[in-house]
Structure 1
Amino acid sequence: MNVCEIARGDGPVILAFPHVGTGLPPGVAARLNDEGLLLRDTDWHIDRLYADLIPGLTTITATQSRYVIDLNRDPAGNSLYPGQTTTGLIPETTFDDVPIWRAGHGPQPADIAHWLDQVHRPYHAALAAEIARVRARHGVAVLYDCHSIRSRIPWLFPGVLPDLNIGTDGGTTCAPELETAVAEIARDSGHSWVLNGRFRGGWTTRHYGRPQDGVHAIQMELAQISHLAAEEPPFATDPDKAAHLRLTLTKIVSALAEIAPGLARR
């Protein structure tokens, strides 16, 4: 099974897209209900949103739906946000707490073990290999983990999510210069934003972000209202919104690429 598509660049920045996949193996598709088959919680179109922002980017793009297994969850099954509502390795509901599996056909422990082996571990092995390749070339690697989510999900958070949600796990997953640069660009962008708010970085950001070892990680969770025509089927992109947002995203990834060489010389 092809779990991801990789485009190798010669720069220090890696963009990861763990939740854009819509692939459903037959054994999973046959067990999902009509709600599940909508794939509502996909990070719709963000791989295209980030496409070709600057030269030299490496991209790793998941092919399988997060309903098969969530690539941004701890493989040990530990919660990302203890005490807060969230979904697990294989979600049983949407982010609105609506069941996605046909009655009596939900995920079992054997499913978790199987998809960890077939999808989760191969994806992260590929990502780790790209991080190692980029770090060997540049002395540093910057992993920018790309996500999106609907702006109103009462089951997960109150109110309306800001457009730009920057996560560095309280500043632990990247150098301060990187965090400051992204925050300043967000502040001046005209978009609403927050640093380490409801989404402070998922398992990928926390697992790989080791500034002391030359690997810096940042998660960006985009509110889908910032680039979609509507946060409901068919989840179409709004070209004008997307074009405006791409200006900000270009500034962000450009800043990461410009700062990275200085981090390698420390």
Structure 2
Amino acid sequence: MRSDYWDQPAFETIRPRRLVAPVVFNSPHSGRVYPERFLAMARLDHLSIRQSEDAYVDELFGRAPHLGAPLLRAHFPRAYLDVNREPWELDPTMFVEPLSDRFNTSSPRVAAGLGTLARVVAENKPIYRERLTLEDARMRIEGIYHPYHAALQKLLSESVAKFGLGVLIDCHSMPRLGRHGERATPDIVLGDRYGTTCAGPLVDLVETIFASAGLRVARNRPYAGGFCTRAYGRPQHGVHALQIEISRHLYMNEVTLEKNADFDAIKSLVERLIITLAGIDLVALAGISTLPEQAAAE
């Protein structure tokens, strides 16, 4: 089956002219290029199908390459393919053919309809008119998912080789938590898989930057970090991973998906975060003494 992105890139690596920091920014859910074939398979209108997007997150972090750190961003939408899942986390009810034991068909994410190929978008709205074929899944996973993760691994390996340390910042947005006016609902959620994927002082630094702007910051609840955080975060081998969730109401209208008046302020705050991470000695901050050769072996 020919790729739905045969005539355009499915994702993009934006590199700095000069790599100055061991930080890699990843925006896997902000893609908004919807292939015509996919839209024809969907039962949702164009606005409804976009409800799963981490809309504009790639723009919020877009200054990273100008400040010395690479940015990997998806152009494909999350409703089409979710690279923050295991490669074959599939819902058997979505496919014409039966799925063998080699597929992970029983994860909580699959049960929620949010596997590698999602069954639903936000508010549990089904995406597809009809069941898919496994050939379609292979086209997306073998043709896009695996190359995407190869690109991410390459960026982290380059960081480790140059600095002796790699830091993955996995960039996301989340629906507003709680009802309007409810007390103590977080604006930012930092996920480090309960302290297992990133050095504590690094997480403390990121929290301080957001909190100093008057935002409420929570850790690991309700988002502890997805597949990318879990798969790449290996602090004992010099590779750290931290997921950042930014509440969408801070910078956009969650219904119309239009940027709001505070978009530039949030973008400036994210830029301050990038500048801080690029300007400090992260090796000393993380307390890492791992040699590059050891880290690269992971």
Q: Please classify the TM superposition score into its range, dividing by the shorter chain length.
A: 0.7 to 0.9
Give the aligned residue type for 1:252: L
Structure 2 unaligned spans of 5+: 90-103, 290-298
Write the letter of the residue equivalent to 1:71: V
* Aligned mates of 2:269, 2:156 — CA distance in 1: 24
Structure 1 pair 160–39 and aligned structure 2 pair: CA distance change class (3 A): farther
Residue of structure 1 equivalent to 2:14: 7
SS at match of 2:124: coil
Residue 208 of structure 2 corresponds to which residue in structure 1? Answer: 184
Q: 2:245 aligns with which of 207, 221, 226?
A: 221
Contiguous gaps of at least 5 residues in structure 1: none
Deviations 1:7-53 (A, max 9, x none): 11302111111011122334322101134664221111111112226
Q: Which of 165, 178, 190 is residue 140 of structure 1 equivalent to?
A: 165
Instruction: Tell me whether 67-76 or 19-28 shows the greater mean CA deviation.
Output: 19-28
State the Cα distance separating 1:146 from its structure 2 match: 0.6
- 1:88-237 → structure 2 map (5 Å cutoff): 88-102=115-129, 105-151=130-176, 162-228=186-252, 230-233=253-256, 235-237=257-259
In the other structure, the counterpart of 2:57 is: 46
SS in 2 for 1:126: helix
- Matched-pair contact (CA < 8 Å) for 1:148–1:221: yes
TM-score (norm 2): 0.78
Amino acid at match of 1:64: F
Residues 122-159 of structure 1: CA distance to partner in whole angstroms, max 9, x if unpaired? 111111111111211111111101111221599xxx99
Q: Does the 8 Å CA contact 1:144/1:220 hold for their aligned counterparts? A: yes
- Alpha-carbon distance, 1:56 to partner: 0.3
Say how many residue pairs are matched.
258
Percent of aligned pairs with the same amino acid = 28
Cα deviation code 1:151-208 (max 9, x no counterpart) = 1599xxx999622111100011111111111122233321122111111111011101
Change (3 A) 1:152 1:179: closer
Residue equivalent to 2:68? 56
Q: What do you get for the CA RMSD once the two structures are aligned?
A: 2.7
- Answer yes or no: is the 8 Å Cα contact 2:63–2:271 preserved in 1: no
State the secondary structure of the residue aligned to 2:126.
coil
Q: Deviations along 1:208-232, whole A, 9 cap, x unmatched?
A: 111111111111111110111x101
The CA distance in 2 between the partners of 1:150 and 1:109, in whole Å, is 31
Structure 1 counterpart SS, 2:58? helix
User: Structure 1 residues 127 and 31, CA, compared in 2 at 3 Å: closer, same or farther?
Assistant: same
Letter in 1 for 2:84: N
Match of residue 296 from structure 2: none
* Structure 1 residue 61 displacement after superposition: 0.9
Q: 1:84 Cα deviation (Å)? A: 8.3
Between the aligned partners of 1:232 and 1:213, the Cα distance in structure 2 is 42
SS at match of 1:40: helix
Equivalent AA in structure 2 for residue 165 of structure 1: V
Residue 21 of structure 2 is aligned to residue 27 of structure 1: no
Note if contact 1:161-1:223 (Cα within 8 Å) is conserved in structure 2: no
Q: Distance in 1 between matches of 2:266 and 2:42?
A: 34
1:265, distance to aligned residue in structure 2 (A): 5.9
Superposition deviation, residue 108 in structure 1: 4.0
Poorly superposed stretches of 4+, deviation over 6 Å: none
CA radius of gyration, larger in: 2
1:72 to 84, 96, 104: 84
**Secondary structure of the equivalent of 1:116?**
helix
Rounded to whole Å, the distance in 1 between the matches of 2:46 and 2:131 is 11
